[in-house]
A = this chain, B = another copy of it.
Amino acid sequence: MAKVARKAMDEIILFLTKAMELINWDDVRRVRDILIDAKNKGKNILVVGMGRSGLVGRAFALRLMHLGFNVFVFGETITPAILADDVVIAISGSGETNTVVRAAEVAKKLGAKVVAVTTRPHSSLAKLADMILVLPGKTKLATEQDYFIRQLLGEHAPLAPLGTLFEITAMIVLDSLVSELMETLHISEDQIRRRHATIE
């Protein structure tokens, strides 16, 4: 039996359970409102992230497309010019990932609204964002001063390495936001299914 794996999953679920209590669900609602406002005004959403945070961002972008948003992913082929009032969702656990911070900087200059999804509310990314969604999570920079990890898992280091806990939390919170958006926009699962890629 994969004992360590089982223990790691147990720890991840424990972390998520405690994380859920620490998340500011009013902020989640604010992100929802920013997205719906962009949709109503015909604005574009650009999701920016590198590494595993970028993959979590893509998974969210895919669902936003299913919900009818004009959404694009930084670094993929089809990415139009960012214009004023577009929304940039920038994901970085540490809030210091070079490419993400630079992209957010440029987006601000172009008049776009930047939503930072990060574990560090005082990071470079958070400082220049219009809206910060702070998520519990250890980051790849993690040291003892890490935000949430100690009170959540106690003194011992979690089994999941580097930014894993942030990335999983981000994936689940953004997927939960998808459920919220479905409710607000009155979009059923069947409507999503019809927008799902048919060639894969």
Contact = CB atoms under 8 A, between A and B. Distances in A.
Interface residues of A, number: 87
Interface in A159-200: 159-162, 164, 167-168, 171-173, 175-180, 182-184, 189, 192-200
A21 to B, nearest CB: 10
B55 A51 contact: no
A65 B80 CA distance: 8
A128 interface: no
Contacts of A172: 9, 12-13, 168
A127 interface: no
A176 B51 contact: no
Contacts of A76: 73, 76-78
Copies of this chain, count: 4
Contact of A29 (B2, B26, B171): B2
A157 interface: yes
A150 interface: no
Contacts of A5: 25, 28-29, 32, 173, 176-177, 179-180
- Most central of A2, A5, A26, A200 by chain B CB within 10 Å: A2
Contact of A195 (B12, B71, B81, B103): B81
Given A81-B194, A172-B9, A2 B16 contact: no
A51 B197 contact: yes
